[in-house]
Amino acid sequence: MGRLDGKVAVITGAASGIGAATARRFCREGAAVVVADLNDAGGRAVVTECTAAGGRAVFRRTDVSAEPDVAAAIALAVESYGRLDVLFNNAGLGGALGPIDETPVEDWDRTQAVLLRAVFLGMKHAVPRMRAGGGGSIISTASVAGLRGGAGPHAYSAAKAAVINLTRSVVLEVAKDHIRVNCICPGGIHTPLIGQRFPGSDEQLAQILSTVQPLQRAGTPDDIAAMALYLASDEARFVTGTAMVVDGGFTAGGSQIAAPGPMPTEYAGPSFEPRE
């Protein structure tokens, strides 16, 4: 038996990195998964991989900053599989980069739309479905950048801190409905998103990441997928309102992840799109 047998999940940002690893893991553990992402090719490839291995998965092209798209992805889960048990608000990007006094307001707002408004939208549309089904688990990707200074760009850090407190706030409203709400705070995870900021090979990036926390290896998407699996499963039935840190000890005493050279003022969009 799988740890998620009979459960239905929506995972945003599931075309690559943490989202893709989680979609594969959830399917292996028995869940049916809606793969939600802007990246059509990547999302469909993840679905193909999951179904070829015997899992159940469908793709929905989703702009997580747009309410109709988020609502449609959640509706697809119910239409395709009859219910919604798990929502993983995972889609992300680097967003506005550079000094605070040089950050365009438009880039700040675009960052908050993807990293914070999207989490709100996911919660908004998942809660009624989960309430109707007798409960569920909402998980969001926050970051160690939401817990300490110097761990991420300004707009990104602000959004992730807000995700952590939104998680705690919503718990108080939906606990009576048997809906659990948690977030995960990854540290330096070797994904295409963080690779945008570091030129060079995957091996070079892995080496950089291995030096910033006490456990001297780069974190992997599978490390975060394992925590998401736990939070989605009935094993975590008494766990809610938490910010689960998965960082190799970074927040206990790691060093800042420093990109080579000064940080340019720019906007880092989804990892599959060219830099602006």
Q: Residue 179: how many CB atoms within 10 A of its CB? A: 23
Q: Tell whether pTM > 0.75.
A: yes
* DSSP E strands, the chain: 8-12, 32-37, 56-61, 86-89, 95-97, 136-141, 179-186, 243-246, 266-268
**99: exposed, middle or buried (Cβ count in 10 Å: 0-12, 13-18, 19+):** exposed
Residue 230 is a catalytic residue: no
Q: Does the pLDDT value for residue 266 go beyond 90? A: no
- Segment 129-173, tens digit of pLDDT: 999 999 999 999 999 999 988 878 999 999 999 999 999 999 999
The superfamily in CATH containing domain 8-186+218-247 is: NAD(P)-binding Rossmann-like Domain (3.40.50.720)
**Are residues 240 and 182 in contact, defined by beta-carbon separation less than 8 angstroms?**
yes
- Segment 178-230, tens digit of pLDDT: 999 999 999 888 766 655 555 555 676 667 766 778 888 888 999 999 999 99
Residue boundaries of the structural domains of the chain: 8-186+218-247
- Segment 227-247, tens digit of pLDDT: 999 999 999 999 999 999 999
